Amino acid sequence: MTAALASVPVSLGDRSYDVLIGHGARRQLPDVLPPAAARAAIVTQAGIGLDVDPGVEHVVIEIGRGERAKSLATVEHICRELARAGISRSDVVVAVGGGMVTDVAGYAAASWHRGTAVLHVATTLLAQVDAAIGGKTGVNLPEGKNLVGAFWQPHAVICDLDALSTLPPEEWRSGYGEIAKYAFLGVDGLPGMPLEEQVRACVALKASVVAADEREGSKRMILNYGHTLAHALEAAGLAADAGTATLRHGEAVAVGLVFAARLAEALGRIGAGRVAEHRAVVSSFGLPATMPRGADADQLLAFMRRDKKAHGDLTFVLDGADGVESVPGVDPGVVRRILSEMIEEATS
C-alpha cells in the first residue's frame, strides 16, 4: 500500500508535470510513465538502495559517483548503452538518484534522438527539494561546473521519502542547506515542520518560480540565494569545520545565506533583526553559519568575480524591502569587508 501522496504541479503549458511526494511514491512509477513508452532505461549509481519497477521491459545503466563523473564521458556511456538496448525516442529514461544522476541522465535524455522523455526518481533530500525539479540538466567540464547543459523538463518527478532512510548525515545537511534557502524565499515555518511538509512546501515554491521564469531570465535567479559565496567556497575546496572532507553544497549554501544577509545589511537593504533570523534558521537545521577554516577574502572574491551569473561585475541575490532579488554592481570593497569580518570572527 502507498500512503497518501502529495502532488505538486509544475505548470508549463504542454510541458507541465507533477511532482509526487510521500512514502512509497516510487510505486506510482508505472502510472506516470509516458503512455507510448514500451521500454525504459534506468540510470542510477551503485549504493542507491531504492528498488524501482517501471512496469515495462527495462535495462539498468550504472554510472560513477561524484562531480568527476558528471561529465560528457558519462553522457557518452549512457547514450551507448541506450543504443545497445535499442531505446527509441518514444521510450523513457528514468533517473534514480541524487542531483548528479538527474542532471546527467536528464542531459543524456535531452540529447538522445534529439529528445527522449525523462522521469526523475529523486533519492537525496537536495534532489527532492531542488535539483530534480525545473528542467535544468547538464554536466561539468574541467574548466567549470555545469558548463554544458540543456533545459529539458522531466515527464514527472517522484520524491519517495523512503529513499532517504539510507542517506548519510552529510547528504542530509546538504539538503537542509537548500531547505534553509527556501525559508527566505517565501516559505514560512520551515524549521520544525514534518519532513514531508518541508519537502512539499519547498517543491511548491520551486514549481511556482520555474512556472514564472522557466529559463532564468529574471525571477528564477532568486533560487541562487546564498549560492554566490557557496560556489566560491566549493571552488576553494574548503573543509567543513570539524573534519577534512570538503564542505557539502548545502553547508556552503548555509554560510552563503548568512553572508548574503550581512552584505544586504551593509548595503542598507535589511536590518540586524533579519540577519539574526538568517543565523537562527541556518542553526536550526544544524548547519554552519561561520566561515570555514582556511578561507581567504581575496581568493573568495576572485572566485565570485568569475561566477558565471555575474556578467562581468559582482552580482548577488540579496534580501531587501521587496524580498530576495538579483542585485548587480555590488561594491567589491563592501564584499571584501564582510568576508574579512566573517573570517576574523571564525578564527578569533
Question: Quick check: is 113 catalytic?
Answer: no
Which of 22, 98, 256, 292 touches ligand NAD by CB under 6 A? 98
Segments of 11-143 assigned E as strands: 17-22, 39-45, 57-63, 92-97, 117-122, 136-141
154 binds ligand NAD (CB under 6 A): no
Q: Which of 58, 173, 200, 231 is catalytic?
A: 231
Kindly tell me which residue out of 28, 71, 74, 124 binds ligand NAD, with binding defined by CB under 6 A. 124
- Smallest distance from ligand NAD to CB 17, Å: 15
Binding residue for ligand NAD, selected from 18, 91, 160, 171, defined by CB under 6 A: 171
d(CA 12, CA 15): 5
Sole window of 78-86, 161-169, 232-240, 272-280 interacting with ligand NAD (rule: CB under 6 A): 161-169
The residue within the footprint of ligand NAD, chosen from 74, 116, 123, 153 (CB under 6 A), is 123
Annotated catalytic residue: which of 27, 58, 70, 136? 136
User: Taking the complex as a whole, how short is the minimal distance between the CB of residue 86 and ligand NAD, in angstroms?
Assistant: 27
- Least distance (Å) between residue 165 CB and ligand NAD: 8
Cβ contacts of residue 105 below 8 Å, gap of 6+? 43, 63, 78, 93, 94, 95, 97, 118, 120
Nearest alpha-carbon partner for 146 in 244, 245, 67: 67
CB-nearest residue to ligand NAD: 99
Contact 316, 327 (CB under 8 A): yes
What does the block give as the cell for 134? 525545473
114 as an active site residue: the answer is yes
Owner of C-alpha cell 554536466: 139
Letters for 212-251 (x = contact with ligand NAD by CB under 6 A, - = none) are -------------------------------------x--
State the greatest distance between any 2 C-alpha atoms of the chain, in Å, as a whole number: 62
Considering the candidates 81, 171, 178, 265, report the single residue annotated as catalytic: 178
Task: Find, among 223, 232, 341, the residue nearest to 290 by Cα.
Answer: 341
Does 47 sit near ligand NAD (CB under 6 A)?
yes
Q: Does 101 bind ligand NAD (CB under 6 A)?
A: yes
Which of 191, 186, 254, 189 has the alpha carbon at shortest distance from 219?
A: 186
List 26, 27, 136, 220, residue binding ligand NAD (CB under 6 A): 136
Which residue has 578569533 as its cell numbers?
348
Among 29, 48, 157, 190, binds ligand NAD (CB under 6 A): 48
Nearer to ligand NAD by C-beta: 170 or 341? 170
Which residue is catalytic, options 206, 248, 262, 278?
A: 206
Q: CA 327: distance to chain centroid?
A: 21
Closest approach of Cβ 19 to ligand NAD, in Å? Answer: 13
Q: Which is nearer to ligand NAD, 41 or 223 (by Cβ)?
A: 223
Strands (E), 75-187: 92-97, 117-122, 136-141, 144-151, 156-160
CB contact at 8 A, 287 and 251:
yes
* Residue 136 a catalytic site member: yes
Q: Is 342 in the site for ligand NAD (CB under 6 A)?
A: no
Number of H helices and E strands in the chain, helices first, is 11, 11
Alpha carbons 9 and 29: distance in angstroms, whole number: 16
Q: Can residue 103 be called a binding residue for ligand NAD (CB under 6 A)? A: yes
Q: C-alpha angle 321/325/327, rounded to 5°?
A: 100
Q: What is d(CA 144, CA 71) in angstroms, rounded to the nearest whole number? A: 11
In the residue annotation, 227 being an active-site residue is answered as: yes
Residue 249 annotated among the catalytic residues of the structure: yes
Which residues contribute to the site for ligand NAD (CB under 6 A)? 45, 47-48, 50, 65, 67, 70, 97-101, 103, 123-124, 126-127, 130-131, 134, 136, 146, 163, 166-167, 171, 174, 249
Q: List residues with catalytic annotation.
A: 114, 136, 178, 206, 216, 220, 224, 227, 231, 249
